[in-house]
């Protein structure tokens, strides 16, 4: 069967790649085409467009790039019609993918959504649009199944795919030496995100605290899809960076400063105490404050439904506040033990690994069942 997948971010590329591997185990003749990155391509997908070309962050930033986004939508729709897949599989990336879901439905193409848009966070009536346009929805947080039941929408809870990615990860035993890092000095990991806007806004604030922690080495988790010169100012300050090696970095880190997003949950699953950092444009932030209906922005806190990790958002994100919070999660800090205990509870709530396998098996099963009707 033919599968068309769309992932618009680095995390979606990771989960999309694991999903493709699972699909091909249950459908060895599967043909995959789509939008994503190197990981999906390595898993066997024919790549149409790289996610780095369409990563826009914040309401205002998206609004400024509507012309570009419209062009991508037009290109995507034309490619889907030309490819005529058995199913379009949408991976997270709500703003773009919900439009594609509507288009696919109108053109009689079956649609699966893997990693539901976070409609529970804002504009909850979008759940009705998902129910209208998406044939099968696969959710990754336990509370999402009951949320969609309020809209009389039965969905499949498959577990969280981050478990798969982390379970498959094997630390590089030579990681410190290969990257010229001091094996005798503990590490504070900086995870500023994979979008250019995030990196530009976060790293200056994160690195401003370095002088307050002379006994630690600050290491940046860089990504190869961004230009290297973006990181040069921080390298000139004597801060090391490692590229496309966030998991290796987390496996040896003592604490972390993390931009809100998937990385907050990854950091928790590696049991590294963290401070969550987030800042966007003032207009985008003002819009978000009016729309968002959940008390937290980090996945860790949303899952456990309390502030397990400190969130420094917008004007609260200052070097002084970062320093203060970081001190509390370092060894002998007042919050470190409690945060690690909360991480273990998060793992219990998320369930067992195998989300990608379960999702892939169900997708193939649903498609084959339809073919026999």
**Domain membership flag for residue 167:** no
Residues 123 and 216 in one domain: no
The domain that holds 37 is classified in CATH as 3.40.50.2000
d(CA 368, CA 193): 38
pLDDT at 289 over 80: no
3-state secondary structure at position 255: strand
For residue 231, what are the domain limits? 177-350
Same domain, 234 and 252: yes
Looking at residue 65, its pLDDT comes to 57
Among 112, 130, 111, smallest CA distance to 120 is for 130
Q: What is the pLDDT of residue 225?
A: 82
- The residues that bridge with 220 in the sheet, in sequence order, are 190, 241
Task: Report the percentage of the chain scoring pLDDT > 90.
Answer: 67
User: Would you say residue 305 has pLDDT above 90?
Assistant: no
> Are 207 and 345 in a shared domain?
yes
State whether 146 and 231 are in the same domain: no
Both 105 and 227 in one domain: the answer is no
**Residues 124 and 225 placed together within one structural domain of the fold:** no
pLDDT tens digits for range 133-188: 999 999 998 889 888 999 999 999 999 988 878 888 999 999 999 999 999 999 99
Residue 326 and residue 313 share a domain: yes
User: Looking at the domain assignment, is residue 84 inside a domain?
Assistant: yes
Q: Does residue 287 surpass a pLDDT of 80? A: no
- Domain for residue 72, yes or no? yes
Query: What is the C-alpha to C-alpha distance for residues 76 and 103, in angstroms, rounded to an integer?
Result: 10
Asked if residue 168 is part of any domain, the answer here is no
Mean pLDDT of the chain: 89
Are residue 342 and residue 287 in the same domain, yes or no?
A: yes
Distance of alpha carbon 53 from alpha carbon 350, whole angstroms? 32
pLDDT in tens, 114-135: 999 888 766 777 899 999 999 9
Residue among 237, 234, 220, 317 at smallest CA distance from 277: 317
**Is residue 172, in this structure, part of any structural domain at all?**
no
More confident residue, 68 or 253: 253
* CA-to-CA dists, residue 109 to 80, 135, 283, angstroms: 9, 10, 37
| Closest C-alpha among 276, 274, 277, 270 to residue 336 | 274
Q: Average pLDDT of 333-338?
A: 97
The stretch 309-322 carries a mean pLDDT of 93
Q: What is the pLDDT of residue 328?
A: 98
Q: 188 and 59 in one domain? A: no
pLDDT at 285 over 70: no
Contacts of 273 (CB under 8 A, 6+ apart): 254, 255, 256, 309, 329, 330, 333, 335, 336, 339, 340
If asked whether residues 283 and 310 sit together in one domain, one would say yes
* Nearest residue to 253 via CA among 308, 337, 361, 331: 331
Q: CA neighbours within 13 Å on the CB side: how many for 199?
A: 21
Confirm whether 191 is domain-assigned: yes
pLDDT beyond 50 at 60: no
Number of folded domains in the chain? 2
pLDDT at 294: 58
Percent of the chain with pLDDT over 70: 91
201/137 same-domain check: no
Do both 99 and 31 map to the same domain? yes
- Is the pLDDT assigned to residue 57 strictly greater than 70? no
Burial class (CB in 10 A: 0-12, 13-18, 19+), 293: exposed
Taking CA atoms, 234 is separated from 11, 114, 172, 190, 191, in Å, by 24, 37, 25, 12, 13
Kindly report which listed range (3-17, 58-72, 149-163) carries the lowest average pLDDT score.
58-72
Q: Look at residue 118 in the predicted model and tell me its pLDDT.
A: 83
Is 166 within a domain?
A: no
Angle at 190 between CA 184 and CA 196, to 5 degrees: 145
Q: Identify the band that residue 211 occupies on the pLDDT scale cut at 50, 70 and 90.
A: very high
Express each pLDDT in 74-108 by its tens digit: 999 999 999 999 999 999 988 899 999 999 999 99
Question: pTM for the whole thing?
Answer: 0.78
Task: For residue 56, tell me if it sits in a domain.
Answer: yes
């Amino acid at each position: 069967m033919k599968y068309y997948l769309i992932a618009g971010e680095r995390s979606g590329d990771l989960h999309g790649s694991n999903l493709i591997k699972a699909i091909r185990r249950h459908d060895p003749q599967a043909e995959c085409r789509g939008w994503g990155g190197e990981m999906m391509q390595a898993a066997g997908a024919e790549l149409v467009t790289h996610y780095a070309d369409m990563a826009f962050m914040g309401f205002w930033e998206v609004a400024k790039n509507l012309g570009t986004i419209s062009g991508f939508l037009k290109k995507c729709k034309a490619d889907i019609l030309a490819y005529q897949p058995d199913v379009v599989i949408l991976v997270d990336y709500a703003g773009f993918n919900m439009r594609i879901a509507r288009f696919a439905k109108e053109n009689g193409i079956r649609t699966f959504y893997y990693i539901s848009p976070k409609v529970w966070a804002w504009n909850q009536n979008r759940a009705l649009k998902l129910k209208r346009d998406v044939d099968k929805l696969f959710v990754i947080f336990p509370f999402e199944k009951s949320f969609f039941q309020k809209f009389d929408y039965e969905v499949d809870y498959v577990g969280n795919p981050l478990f798969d990615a982390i379970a498959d990860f094997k630390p590089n035993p030579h990681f410190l030496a290969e990257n010229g890092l001091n094996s005798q000095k503990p590490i504070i990991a900086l995870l500023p995100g994979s979008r250019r806007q995030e990196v530009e806004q976060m790293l200056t604030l994160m690195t401003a605290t370095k002088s307050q922690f002379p006994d630690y080495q600050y290491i940046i988790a860089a990504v190869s899809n961004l230009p290297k010169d973006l990181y040069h100012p921080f390298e000139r300050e004597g801060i090391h960076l490692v590229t496309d090696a966030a998991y290796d970095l987390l496996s040896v880190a003592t604490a972390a400063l993390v931009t809100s997003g998937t990385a907050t949950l990854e950091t928790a699953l590696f049991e590294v105490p963290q401070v969550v950092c987030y800042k966007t444009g003032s207009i985008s932030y003002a819009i978000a404050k009016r729309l968002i209906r959940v008390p937290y922005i980090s996945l860790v806190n949303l899952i456990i439904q309390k502030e397990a990790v400190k969130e420094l958002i917008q004007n609260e994100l200052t070097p002084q506040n970062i320093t203060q919070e970081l001190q509390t999660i370092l060894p002998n800090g007042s919050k470190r033990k409690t945060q690690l205990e909360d991480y273990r509870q998060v793992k219990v709530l998320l369930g067992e690994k195998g989300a990608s396998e379960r999702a892939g098996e169900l997708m193939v099963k649903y498609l084959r069942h339809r073919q026999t009707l």
